[in-house]
Amino acid sequence: MKSISLVLGANRATLSGPRSKQYRVRQNARAFAKRLRRAGFGVRKWTNVTNKHFAAVARQMQEEGKGDGRIAEIFSAARDLCKAYGNTGISPTNDVFDVRRGSIANANSKAVAPAFVQGAIDKLENELGYEYGPRCAAQIRLQWELGLRREESAKVDLVADWNREGRSLLVRYGTKGGRPRTLTNLSDKQQAALQSALPFVSLSDRPGIHNLMPEGMGDKWQEKLSYAARLCGFTKKESGWTLHSNRHERFHTMYVTHTGFQPPNQHESIAAFQQAAHNAAGEEWPRLDAEARDEIEVTAGHSAGRRDVSDAYLGSSQ
């Protein structure tokens, strides 16, 4: 990739604090710079970055289903770079960009309606006007049935990492923080989703690794996937859902299957949830709730006990 001036500026800026912190700031600032370029902005100096640029990156990340916490993390680094070069014109808060970190326990469900996502998949599978329609449909099905992130669904190596007989899938490419995880006890529907993706396996530009992106396209594939989402109305503006809503639906389904009752964000209040859970499972509801959350947190790529993660998908039960 050709060097981008903002990226070079991030590498060369004078920063304070521990080296580990400086590394994270530079890494996230480079991510901001690359996203800004993808959004069509040619700004080349941190002194010229404005709130308009922050807003554009926020919209792009929200359309991809990135959480407010991740956006805020990148924005913090970008602000640090702006300040390092004397640019003090950036808003000190993220509210103006419709980014609100802090309320990670979502009060409202973001899970996509199953009928809608199935309709979107059907449309793309039969989309004659877009050559990548069927490939995108296969990846969206993986996001829906297995809870894969959009990048994971593009970079999963079905040749090496899907154990059909053992009904398991190792997810190790495109993961958050580079943390691999194994999905086990795959259902018939999940196995079928993986099978439907097999025709789209291609060699990556990384030797010996297969993925579901067109050969040689690399990370530009995400733009193609975003276009497919717009074609079938899978955007926050059009339908209220993004591709990340598939992940919410997977974990919502896992919760109901394990507990037998709906998660907190399907109720008007925590008290209403607790009453409904008690009505369904009696005194056992807290145990079932905890078990379901542990399973979901691990499936999502985190550690069991990360209630901030399950709260983000289900709402808080306490």
Q: What is the pLDDT of residues 93-126, one digit of tens each?
A: 888 888 865 433 445 688 999 999 999 999 999 9
Cα 21 from chain centre: 24
Average of per-residue pLDDT values in the chain: 90
Tokens 């449309």 -> residue: 123
> In the predicted model, is pLDDT for residue 312 greater than 90?
no
CB 163 within 8 A of CB 169: yes
Tokens 């950036």 -> residue: 90
> In the predicted model, is pLDDT for residue 217 greater than 90?
no
3-state secondary structure of 78: helix
Q: Over the range 189-226, which residues count as b (16 or more CB within 10 Å of their CB) and which as e?
A: ebeebbebbeebeeebeeeeebbbbeeebeeebbebbb
According to the model, what pLDDT value does residue 239 have? 92
3-state secondary structure of 121: helix
> In the predicted model, is pLDDT for residue 3 greater than 60?
no
* Strands of the sheet with 168-171, listed across from one edge: 162-163, 168-171, 181-183
Q: 139-156 pLDDT, tens per residue? A: 999 999 999 999 999 999
According to the model, what pLDDT value does residue 54 have? 96
Residue type, 220: K
Give the Cα separation of 256 and 243 in Å (integer): 21
> In the predicted model, is pLDDT for residue 167 greater than 60?
yes
**What is the Cβ-side half-sphere exposure of residue 17, based on CA atoms within 13 angstroms?**
12
Tokens 């399907």 -> residue: 266
Give the Cα separation of 32 and 45 in Å (integer): 13
pTM exceeds cut of 0.75? no
Q: Sort residue 282 into left (φ over 0), alpha (ψ -120 to 50) or beta.
A: left
